[in-house]
Amino acid sequence: MDLVIRNLRASVAGKPILRGIDLEIRAGSVAALMGPNGSGKSTLANVLMGHPAYAVESGSATLGGVDVLGLPPHERALLGLFLAFQYPVEIPGVTVAKFLKRAVEAREEASARAAGREYGGMDVSAYLRELRAAMDFMGVDRSFINRALNEGFSGGEKKRMEVLQMLMLKPRLALMDETDSGLDIDALKVVAAGANRLRGPDFGALVITHYNRILEHLKPDVVHVMYKGRIVVSGGPELVERLEGEGYDWVREEAAAAPAEIEALAAEASA
């Protein structure tokens, strides 16, 4: 399913953050999103998923032609959108197994409904088999099945758990927000392998990252750079190398070299 974002503007606590995002992610393709801290990358991910703290001011975002911005978050999820959180929250007392079972069931039911099929209910033993296999694949100890979701997990365990959920929910478009940050080499490989496992014509991803390491595994089709709430540069994988070598200064300069845009920014800020 294509994700098509047009002139998306959004604010948080009255402060404009996204200042007109235009972005397309074609079904089956992987896009990388880079940019300095505070550019608005997480904001974009949250806005697309429907976080209540962010207000959409204008613009549109459609997934497979459906306007997602008007839907409550769970309906976006049921359409096939997934957000791997930069900072997954802890949910005390809710076990991984219980939570994921409901999430998978809800997704299966919605898929059946969308396909005009009757949902016959969940095959629980198949679910458990799949969950165990996914845990093994992600290097998550099986004892985590009965742990409370993210509670007391290390940073790396939380990130693996995000990708584990992604494997189980089989989204059509995944937003991965710095899933690679803070991971050692092994964890990074596992996380990348998880995303690659889903790759295919029905899976697209927006991978937010600061590092080339993960992109070497994921091989994005396109790289976008966000700065102050806009996509300022887009290009192929060679962009990543330049950013790693030179940092973001040239991006800032490039953005600054566009006076019309600066003026627009200033006007917005004072508005």
Partner 1 sequence: MSAPVPAGPVAAVPAAGKPSSVPAAAAAGPVAASSVPIDAPASADPGVGEYQFGFSYPDKSVFRTRKGLDEEVVRAISELKEEPDWMLANRLRALAAFGKKPMPAWGADLSDIDFDEIVYYARPQDRPKGSWDELPEEIRETYRRIGVPEAERKFLAGVGAQYDSEIVYHSIRADLEKKGVIFCSPEVAVKEHPDLVRKYFGTVIPHNDNKFAALNTAVWSGGSFVYVPKGVKVDIPLQAYFRINSESFGQFERTLIIADEGSFVHYIEGCTAPVYATDSLHSAVVEIIALPGSRVRYSTIQNWSSDVYNLVTKRAVAYAGATMEWVDGNIGSKRTMKYPAVFLMGEGAHGEVLSIAFAGKGQEQDTGAKIIHAASNTSSTVTSKSISKDGGVASYRGMVKVGEGLRGIRSRVVCDALIVDPRSTSNTWPTMEVLSDDVAMEHEARVSKIGDEQLFYLQSRGLGEAEASAMIVNGFLDPLVKQLPMEYAVELNRLIELEMEGSVG
Ligand X SMILES: Nc1ncnc2c1ncn2[C@@H]1O[C@H](COP(=O)(O)OP(=O)(O)O)[C@@H](O)[C@H]1O
- Contacts with Mg ion by CB under 5 A lie at 42, 86
Instruction: Report, in this order, helix, strand and coil percent for the chain, each rounded to 5.
Output: 45, 25, 30
53 sits near ligand X (criterion: CB under 6 A): yes
DSSP state of 89: P
40 sits near ligand X (criterion: CB under 6 A): yes
219 sits near partner 1 (criterion: CB under 8 A): no
179 sits near ligand X (criterion: CB under 6 A): no
Task: Rule CB under 6 A: choose which of 5, 34, 42, 195 binds ligand X.
Answer: 42
CB contact at 8 A, 97 and 122? no
89 sits near ligand X (criterion: CB under 6 A): no
157-162 contacts at long range (C-beta below 8 A, 24 or more positions apart): 158/88, 159/84, 159/88, 159/183, 159/187, 159/191, 160/187, 160/190, 160/191, 160/194, 161/88, 161/96, 162/84, 162/85, 162/88
Question: Min. distance of Cβ 46 from ligand X in angstroms?
Answer: 7
Question: Min. distance of Cβ 18 from ligand X in angstroms?
Answer: 8
The interface region with ligand X, picked from 41-49, 56-64, 137-145, 242-250 by CB under 6 A, is 41-49
Backbone angles phi, psi at 80, to 5 degrees: 120, 15
CA distance 157 to 138: 10
The interface region with partner 1, picked from 67-75, 180-188, 201-209, 230-238 by CB under 8 A, is 67-75
155 sits near ligand X (criterion: CB under 6 A): no
Task: Rule CB under 6 A: choose which of 29, 39, 179, 209 binds ligand X.
Answer: 39
Q: Decide which of Mg ion, partner 1, ligand X, none touches 99; Cβ closer than 5 to 8 Å per partner kind.
A: partner 1
CA distance 271 to 265: 10
CA distance 67 to 48: 10
49 sits near partner 1 (criterion: CB under 8 A): yes
Task: Rule CB under 8 A: choose which of 165, 195, 198, 227 binds partner 1.
Answer: 165
1 sits near partner 1 (criterion: CB under 8 A): no
Closest by CA to 129, choosing from 80, 82, 103, 168, is 168
Kindly give, in sequence order, each residue whose CB lies less than 8 Å from that of residue 192, ignoring residues fewer than 6 positions away.
180, 214, 217, 218
CA distance 201 to 43: 27
27 sits near partner 1 (criterion: CB under 8 A): no
CA distance 45 to 59: 15
Size of the site for partner 1 (CB under 8 A): 30
97 sits near partner 1 (criterion: CB under 8 A): no
52 sits near ligand X (criterion: CB under 6 A): no
C-alpha pair distances (Å), 70 with each of 41, 202, 206: 21, 23, 21
**Which stretches of the chain bind partner 1, using CB under 8 A?**
49-53, 72-74, 76-78, 82-83, 85, 88-89, 91-94, 98-99, 102-103, 106-107, 110, 148, 165, 169
**Which stretches of the chain bind ligand X, using CB under 6 A?**
12-13, 17, 35, 37-43, 53
